[in-house]
Amino acid sequence: MKKRIILPKEFKARYSKILGRENKRFLNYCMRPLRKSIRINTLKTDKEKCLKLLKNKGWKLTPIPWCNDGFWVDGEKIEEKLGNTLEYFMGYYYIQEASSMIPPAVLRPTERDFVLDIAASPGSKTGQMAQMMKNKGCIIANDVRIERLKMLKYNLEKLGVINTVVTKMDGRRFWKTNMKFDKILVDAPCSSEGTVRKNWKALSRWSPELIRYISNVQKHLLDSAVRCLKSNGILVYSTCTLAPEENEGVIDYVLKKYQDLDVVKVSLRGLKYREGLKEWDGREYDDRVTKCARIWPQDNDTEGFFVAKLVRK
């Protein structure tokens, strides 16, 4: 028997303030099962060849508009089958949520770039960036704990990634390396509100206190990343949460601290998103946060997500 999902009252109330009458639809989507999706790994296989193999299994694959190699997958008992195929174990495809593919697509790393993924594990976005870079250029994939690094290294090896160096460091101190990067991804640890469709337990530890604590960690992490960004460099900050304190509040913090930072409007083909919030809980944010993207579950049938694109002048 399927377990009933119970959303915290405070959680429901806080998003009613933002969404108003649409809050009911948002909450309904939070309780829906998440549609499965994969990314074809062209470092290991030809996309059309892999698609043919998967379609021969009876799978229905629908392109994800904002990622050329991303597909929603439907089929009988698909959740059980996705991680139990030869193609999966060979690294021909990677199981990755559709909204997780957005940050690399916004950052757009190229073969010439020196890239930092400051909180990289388990490596979904690192592998996607390596694929976009055709295994050229260089990525520094960093994380703070050994257990997380093991998963990161396993996934990168499985995907055939060879342009990436794995490092172990608290991202909040990475600026001390004095390294400078063309492009940086800060996919920050967060309260994970947006992942409830995949794992309903994500909200079991949810609280306003947790949000306040994590937002402080995120500010220090993003601050460190900004210090590592070259002039004219691009930085993408993302979270899988919808809490303004962890999103617009963090971007507002670095915009106030660094006068040479600006926000670039997020725009991807086929992606429905809403502007960042200018105010929350009595606090007014820098007007430029409206250029950030709020991705609500009900808009694209995905997880909840937030993405901001920053450029250093």
Q: Rg for the chain (alpha carbons), in Å?
A: 19
- What's the CA gap between 79 and 63, in Å, rounded? 18
Handedness of CA 100, 101, 104, 106 (dihedral sign): negative
Catalytic residue check, 240: yes
Q: Which helix (H) or strand (E) holds 167?
A: strand 164-168
**Nearest of 250, 309, 300 to residue 277 by alpha carbon:** 250
81-90 contact pairs (CB < 8 A, 24+): 81/57, 82/36, 82/38, 85/57, 87/45, 87/50, 87/53, 87/54, 89/158, 90/44, 90/45
In Å, what is the CA distance from 16 to each residue of 9, 19, 22, 144, 193?
A: 11, 5, 8, 36, 15
**Nearest of 51, 128, 133, 130 to residue 87 by alpha carbon:** 51
Residues 96, 44 contacting (CB under 8 angstroms): no
- DSSP-assigned letter for residue 114: E
Handedness of CA 171, 175, 177, 182 (dihedral sign): positive
State the catalytic residue, choosing from 50, 67, 190, 240. 240
> Hey, which residues are catalytic here?
240
